[in-house]
Amino acid sequence: MPVRALVLRTAGTNCDEETQFAWELAGARAERVHVNRLIENPRRLLDYQVLTIPGGFSYGDDIASGKIFANQIVHHLADAVQEFLARDRLVLGICNGFQVLVRCGLLPGAADGRPTLVPSATLTNNDSGKFEDRWVHLRTDTGRCPFLAKGEVFDLPVAHGEGKFVPADSSPLAALEQKDQVALRYVDSRGRTGASYPANPNGSAGDVAGICDATGRILGLMPHPERHALSEHHPQWTRRPRRKSGDGLAVFKRGVAYFR
């Protein structure tokens, strides 16, 4: 039986088809489901091994990016999500999905893994004051996340207006680093952190591009792995050494491999 991946969409989601394609390219059986269908039957979530919240502008990013979608999860799906996670399942939030996971409390996550409604971090407006649509270099800095391989440097595109990761104070970032929850950082072409804009496209504290929870099984990242599933997706693909797939496909392949 193939791994089943749920791509949860709602009004304003616009990367669900690409995300479904990436999962299927990685060998999963992916299905796009509207959040209202899941609210009608929350236990439907347990039919899947992976919950994916894709990118876009859910509900027009009214109030704050991902806030309304996050509230739906907290008020209607929290119990189902907790049972889902208790069964050793995976959660992936991409761009707007990352914003949703942070705002509903699944990331960075409480000690018991439950949504807290008191986030210790947020994702806010880019320092540039504009929407950033560009390619960036990333480095994996965690060894606990099944989606990633520590030390790997790779390229993915970003497309967001509110991608700046900001902890409530310096303590949460230090705690995340200590617990190995800083999953991805923006780096320069040589894999070094501390690079200025545009290498860090939004001004995130600590060059953070993605974080995971304490178990490593919940990953949120601002860059879009589904937009580099094929090698031809890269703007310099004709100048690079020939590759069988794009850098982002590895994220989905590792998610599938976790259950095999």
Domains of the chain: 4-257 (3.40.50.880)
Query: pLDDT tens for residues 157-175?
Result: 999 999 999 987 766 788 8
Cα–Cα distance list, 237 to 100, 112, 167 (Å): 32, 44, 36
pLDDT value at position 119? 73
Query: pLDDT tens for residues 74-87?
Result: 999 999 999 999 99
pLDDT value at position 175? 86
Collapsing DSSP states into helix, strand and coil, what is residue 208? strand
CA angle 62-218-67, nearest 5°? 10
Q: Find, among 102, 250, 126, the residue nearest to 176 by Cα.
A: 102
Give the DSSP H or E segment for 20. Answer: helix 16-25
Could you tell me the pTM of the whole model? 0.96
CA angle 127-94-167, nearest 5°? 45
Write out residues in the chain with pLDDT < 70, as ranges. Answer: 110-118, 170-171
Q: Where in the sequence numbering do the catalytic residues fall?
A: 95, 224, 226
